[in-house]
Structure 1
Amino acid sequence: MTTLQGSGDREEERTPEQTDEKAGGSRTIRGPTGPEPAGHDHDGGHQALVYEDRDEQFDAVASFLRRGLELGEQCLYVADDGSPDAILAELRDRGIDVDAALDSGALAVVAPPESRRPGGEFDREAMLEFWHERLADVASGGYGEFRATAEMTLALDGESVPEGLVEYEAMLDSLAADDQCSLLCQYDRTRFPDGVIDEVIETHPLIAQGETVSENIYYTPPEEVLGPDRPGDRVDRRLRTLREQEESRVALRDHERDLHALYEVVADVDGTFEEKLLALMDLGCERFDMEMGGLARVDSETDRFEVEVTNGDHEDLVPGSEYPLSETYCRVAVADGGTRAITDTEEFEENLCYEQFGVRTYLGTHLEFDDADDRTFWFVSRRPREEISAADEAFHHLMGQWVRYELEKQRRTDQFVALDNLNQTARDINRELAEQSTREEVEQVVCDRFTESDSYAFAWFGTVEGSDVVPSTDATHPDAEEILELGAGGLAARAARTGDTQVLRDTEVGPDTEPWQELARRGITGVASIPVAYEDERYGVLTVYTTRERAFDEKEREILTQLGEIVGLAIAVIDHERELTHERERLEFFNRLVRHNLLNSLNVVRARVEMLEGAVDPEAATHLETVETRTDEMIDLVGKVRTLMRAVDETDERDLEPTDLGTALGAEVERTRRAFDCAEFDVGKSVAGAGTVLADDLLTEAFENLLVNAVQHNDKETPRVWVDVETSERETTVRIADNGPGVDDEVRAQMFEKGRKGLKSNGTGFGLYLTREIIESYGGEIRVEDRDPEGTVFSISLPRAESA
């Protein structure tokens, strides 16, 4: 006989034992048992395998041994008919790593001991001694638990069945119950008579068939098998079995009925969540024999229990009523984080749930949420009960999971709707901001739109004064005065100080008792204060209130912060427009001063100078010429200033019309040619077909400045100017080049700035600045670059009238 060898201590995790109450006493069986045999995983116990072919035999054996190897048990196969190699091959074909199990000592295949007395009688004592020796070997090897399967043909004497086999199996049943071992007895139905199989089956609490293990309803406890034959005991056992079968059948029928009813409730597409919840409570009251069901908000940190929904009448447990959680049975479910049934109420006798509410039986489930108030879903009764079955607890847990799923779905739907409302509010505000002309109007629009939305209850705008935020604008609301008096508990001031959006998501648990508790009593559940700023300028704080549960999550805060920036930009634009208006008024005053007073005075001086010509001596004539020259320069300067004023101050009022670019440019070249007969002008053929641009009469002023600049700033004896045009689909570019000295990088970077003078210029420095202002007022662009090999090139790009 092969001797088992241990492989040292084993520290693998073992599955917890499960206790199963059976007729005839309490037994410990490793692994699940119950009315659904397919769920059994061959964890242990005393099992009988009745097979008719080799596949059926080894499907069950492999499943049995595989489970033992997974649990780190010592596994033994006692062979009689089959050879060890053939047995190992069958196990290997079914996915067991036989070689590793043999090498570690976790698996062995052995021959049975001599199990017959000289007269051929089955020696059950010898076999029992064999099993006890094996258990001792396992204990010394450090395994702790033992699993074995034996081919029961070892008991056959030829084809005859020895006496004492049934008693032997009954003793094995006691052995499996008392020691940490699992046994699978293999019976070949083709070798054993049906009568023997029938008796053997009665001695096994579990029956294995292929990979299925089921409880044996015909099981007879060992004490009855080994005890005196008492027909009354057998009758009692069979009647008890029949009664238990009927009770199980009725329980299964009722369970299926309740599951069907539960499905009908949750599958009702027309019912609201509250309607389904009440129907679910009615179903639970009927199933659990309870008086009332309910749903409550709970918070262990604040010791809060608030009844939310009930389906019955109770003077204390009504929706909206609040009590300390520690005074309720629900505290146990919350502490455990699962489903709890309470029928022993002794420890609660001094609590409200017992003393005031009168509840004597409780069944409840804790529903936990990541970003919302936790709930408990419960059923209660004033009538005491001995116990609540595990099946009822499981059914209640299933109901609770549906309630949790629906609440989570509802919360996410509410969040989506709230974000959609916020986005719509933001769009409405953004659209209306452009129509407002004062900061006060902007603030009022923002406050009103928030208060009118479905997601918010009230809003006010405050300006920063020192360390405080003082309300400046608020929306119309019946409680506006009271809410403003409560303020925002430092939330708005903190938002102004940090520049970040500040929120309080639950006014029930605010950092200070007031003003949050007062807001909560008014139905306000959350508050957010949003800084209103643009760039470095802070304009104030917008504070909004909501009645939604756990509002102002990260996404909502992000949108509110962006909205604060948009409102800040709108206020900045209004402030900028106000400043521009003030500047325009000043420019208009200056324009009138130049246009009327200064120009009129210069024209009077010019007229008097002309009257004195020829009437003074030669020496005085020289001074008169200087006066005349300076007066002409001043009149010319006034003209340029008037042109500049038109370019920069009247842009919005000027009427731009399609203008033939070639005609305007050609005419200005001819005027400049006549004025500077010392210069040469080369006009490209492209000028005639330059097309049209949107412009006005200031366009020729721009061309004149560039053409004159090309001649006056030229250091050659004969200045040369080249003019041509390039046309694309969307714009026309005029190029004016000269053979002058060019422009160095430092001058080029600043030459279009106001007051910048050209090379050796005696002018005012406004020419190129004025040219840039005119061109940009048309939506165009002007550039300057060096001309190869010498000179300067000015490029003016203007949008074509056809593409505008």
Structure 2
Amino acid sequence: MSFEEQPDFARQVADLNKYGQALNRCESVEEVVSLTLEAMSLLFQFSYSTFVEVRDGEPLVVHSTNPRLTQGDRPSAVARRAFDDGETVVATDEEAGMTPDSDVTATLAVPAQVGGDVTAVLVTRSTTVSSFGEEHSRPLEILASHAATAISNIRSRERLERARQDLETRKEMIEMYDRLLRHDLGNDLQVIAGFADAVATEVEGQTEEYAGNIQRAARSSADLIERVGSLVSTLEQQDEPEPRPLGSILDRTVTEVEANYDSLTVDFDRSAFEYRVFAGELLDSVFTNLVSNAAVHNEGDVRVVISVEESGSDEIVVRFADDGAGVPEHLREEIFEMGAKGPESDGSGFGLGFVRALTESYGGDVSVDESESGGAEFRVTLERV
């Protein structure tokens, strides 16, 4: 019998809609689990119900009415198969039970998916029926879909809240270092520069050369502090992440950067970037820095290909791949440190450090690898709405 042909089809649909709405109002995963198990009990009234959530790529039992399972256990072979295949699994006879002496006669495992990724598996077991048909699997699949969506929304809110908290912590630390640099170290450098000026007028020869070196070092350090101060001021003004249109931000970035560098060609298909991502108003600065880097750090003409791919159900990765000289493997992590720069660079060394600080404040990440053409490929991971 199909789901639609059941005598109580209308009632089950109404119950599923009611639970779907309630699941979307849940504030925690624990609430989702509890409500889902309640719905499974109401809909089927079978012996055992189990909720398996996928955490860090591995399925784990979150809650179960089966006395053989406890929180944190690995799921049964049937649930594992549903997770691996991403398809509903029905097991009968000996395969249905978890042990040879089990009184379970049939097991139904339904994967809950969002964006093609399994985020949970709902499992129900019976000791009275010989198998499960569509009249059982279809409503459980609908319930699983509601549960998966609810969990995905909750996890996204949790990640966004962590990003906001990280942003506040970073701001506080930056403000502290800013005060230290501008006030304490800045004053000391003024004293050093003043004494160096005085000494330079009183000596000659090698001592005068030493005094000149001290002067130049003091001025260079003062200039560095000023650049750090400008970065701090920018980060202090950074707002909290919120949904922003990825395509239009990249479109503006590409137009502006290409206008500034004759040697740069950018391949960018706006229609492929119809996503909304969690970010602040300085996301365009992240993209501008990465695109312009290809022109600044390569001699001659250079081509950048910008592409995007989905990473799981709640992230996207924006790729900036160029055909330039690339970044040596031993420098690929170091270049994101504040103040780090290559031996041939005339910059401040804060560009990519700034990029990472901003991206991480949005709950994302940035990395670099070798592109298919042998150049550099920067990858920016962002939370998507």
Length-normalised TM-score, structure 1: 0.27
Specify which structure has the bigger relative contact order, considering alpha-carbon pairs within 8 angstroms and separated by 6 or more residues: 2
| Structure whose alpha-carbon radius of gyration is higher | 1
